[in-house]
Amino acid sequence: MKAMYLSGFSGVSGNMFVGALLDAGLLEKTFRETVSALPVSGYQLKINKVMKHGISATHFDVELDPAEHQPHRHLADIVKIIESTGLSATVKARSIAVFEKLAEAEAKVHGTKVEKIHFHEVGGIDAIIDIVGTVSGLESLGVEKVFAGSLRTGCGFIKCAHGVLPIPAPATTELLTGIPYTHGSIEKELLTPTGAALLAVLCDGFGERPAGFVSEKTAYGAGGWDLDIPNVLRVETGFLQTPENPELLVFETNIDDSSPQIFDYVMERLFKAGALDVWLTPVQMKKNRPAVTLSVLAPAALQENVEEIIFSETTTIGIRRYPVERTAAQRCEKTVNTPQGSVRVKISSINGRACSVTPEYDDCRKLAEATGAPLKEVLALAQAAFKSR
């Protein structure tokens, strides 16, 4: 399962989130196409690399055209904008959920109803692009789970549409309910209302990096401040492993100079080491030599053992590996009684419903040999015995 961990030691804002996703591999072309689907105008997208205390980061900004008037919007106006696009249903729903979260926080702070909230800063084009761009960027990167920690808001005061307010702003404080954070000593608004709403809606957990999270890449989205610390949002993308859903790898190697007799032994060793599946595929290699591809599906934690067996037992000099995901049925075993004797039956089920019932081959073979009955008959009797239970 692909996951992401955010380190907000220097704050979180919408543009920092987008910058971090671009730095993590979100294609600029894909992002621009997403933004162009929004029926809004009067802006330019600025994307460039910057250095923050020696850290290379991607800075993203929405530059507004001062000559074009930008109206203040209500929640219904923003929902209409998002719903009118051709974006996926998931992106639409999650983007609207972020704005609904913002509206609920503002309504509570000002003692009014959600539909009466008149968005100021967070109703502008830049906030709409930041939010929709973040949600669509996560989908484009295939990120299923998001976690965050080390969140700092900054301290002091900020001037906004409602006057001079403390940092974090009241709406930000409301949005951070239930989320651990610290103020820190930097007198700047590091964690914005947009950033807080994105965290509140998109994150699956807060605090330390989750158990089982394996980082594959680190990226940085730059903020606009020059501080005593790097003003960046650090994101780590990787995979989340759980006991029920461990990270899996496929190992592959092409072999054209080994005796085919060895493969039975190699497969046996790999299965004993914990491989979930091992298979051979005939291939044709250079100089028209017939060969086989040895493939192994195993938990990533067994990488060292699997590769040691392949290198020591075959003639290969190189192994490919890549991560995969799978959906596995729940499995159990029952014993049924047939006229020929007892047979174990393997039962696979999805959501509590049996999807496959397979008699144990070795049990059926032994009964066939002992009784003289055809093997196919013993297999059929075992199936029938299970159905009659």
236-277 pLDDT per residue, tens = 998 887 666 678 999 999 999 988 999 999 999 999 998 999
The pTM assigned to this predicted structure is: 0.64
Cα 85 to Cα 92: distance, rounded to the nearest angstrom: 8
Q: For residue 351, what pLDDT is reported? A: 63
pLDDT value of residue 377: 93
- pLDDT lower than 70: segments of the chain: 118-123, 161-162, 242-245, 351-352
As a residue count, the chain comes to 389
pLDDT of 70: 73
**Alpha helices, DSSP H only, in the chain?**
14-23, 28-36, 75-83, 89-110, 125-141, 170-175, 193-202, 262-273, 303-313, 361-371, 375-387
Q: Show me where the domains of the chain are located.
A: 2-240, 248-324, 330-387
Q: Cβ distance 2 to 239 under 8 Å?
A: yes
pLDDT at residue 117, as a whole number: 72
Same fold, 248-324 and 330-387: no
Which CATH number does 330-387 carry? 3.10.20.300
Note the pLDDT of residue 119: 67
CATH architecture classification, 248-324: 2-Layer Sandwich (3.30)
